[in-house]
Amino acid sequence: MGSQWGNNIKLSIFGESHGEGIGIVIDGLTPGMDLDWDYINFQMARRVPGKNKFSTARKESDRVEILSGILNNKTTGAPLCAFIKNSDKKSKDYDMLQSLMRPGHSDYPANRKYKGYNDVRGGGHFSGRLTASLVFAGSLARQILDKKGIKIVGRIKSIGNIVDVDIENDLDILNCIKNIDFPAITKEKEMQTLIEKVRLDRDSVGGVIEVVALGVKAGLGNPFFDSLESTISHMIFSVPGVKGIEFGKGFEISSMLGSESNDEYYFSENEIKTYTNNNGGILGGISNGMPIVVKVAIKPTPSIGKVQKTVNITTSKNSEVEITGRHDPCIVPRAVVVIESVMALAILDQMIGGSYE
């Protein structure tokens, strides 16, 4: 099972949505690092379920218990193991899923790969519940990056067909919304109205998250297989529900002329900058000193209350399924901190493995 990642910072996640708990083992942290628990708990609270009507009703505190790698609140250099207990489980909601394959979920391919032995309760090891572990690891990475002047800030770019304003030339606005539970700039009410509408209709909606890394100097990354884009993309696509990624102008850049898409350089107080940032701060797989701008497409939550067509693999007949249980009508607001976290981990992994100062 592909639950390990990293060249320099190595991560291994474990657990299932309705098991005893979930957790992560982090190897490669520098010894002597202090843990800021106020900061960690703040980031964990941004992802925690059950906060409002826009998220699942499942109640979890996501309190992190350290099993190894910390002594006197400092990293020891040994692998750090963190555990998060599951407390609000309703596993009976998933009894039927041994036979009925939910549309849009991993049920059928997982059943084929693991010969029916996979845990289906709440999605098991495939569940977005496991992203709590990534937020914890990301909060450590962000503390390290912060000391190097690097900030990771995300926002909701769109929900459904409601698109917020562009922030390419006004990054100060983006920086102001980093502590908001629903981090939109101008379209917050419209987006929330849409989420409530699909919730009442027993449906779901997706959206786009835009995340920016500020303060990354030129020279971070590599060409080809370990490019900065490759590392960031690998981590972001590891988050359940992610279906697309763009750097800078992304797909839009394909319709531009070279004279339009090239980011021209200029000097600003002995620093080299570009007038535009169409390439999202990365050229040749290496940072160019401009903000790294990434847009991430999040699909609608596949668990919806409407009756859907499916198959029963026990009877080998066509069937229908009506999903019960507690689910987010839109996972985008809670996923912002997850995308921020994995981007921080990707950047830190590249920094440790290179000559970045």
Annotated binding site for NADP(+): 47, 53
What Cα–Cα distance (Å) separates residue 160 from each residue in 84, 223, 226, 244, 252? 32, 35, 33, 15, 19
Closest CA to 321 of 334, 333, 331, 312: 312
β-strand partners of 4: 12
Q: Nearest 5 degrees, angle CA 146-CA 150-CA 154? A: 100
What Cα–Cα distance (Å) separates residue 96 from each residue in 52, 269, 320? 28, 64, 11
Torsion sign across C-alpha atoms 330, 332, 337, 343: positive
Residue that the structure tokens 């920086």 belong to: 175
Q: What is the DSSP letter of 72?
A: T
Q: Which residues are annotated as a binding site?
A: 47, 53, 125-127, 284, 299-303, 326
Q: What are phi and psi of 33, to 5 degrees?
A: -80, 130
Look up residue 237 and give its two tokens: 């696509």
Cα 67 from Cα 80, distance rounded (Å): 7
Nearest-10 crossing angle of helices 131-147, 332-353: 50
Q: Are strands 10-15 and 265-268 parallel, antiparallel or unpaired?
A: unpaired
Q: What are phi and psi of 60, to 5 degrees?
A: -135, 135
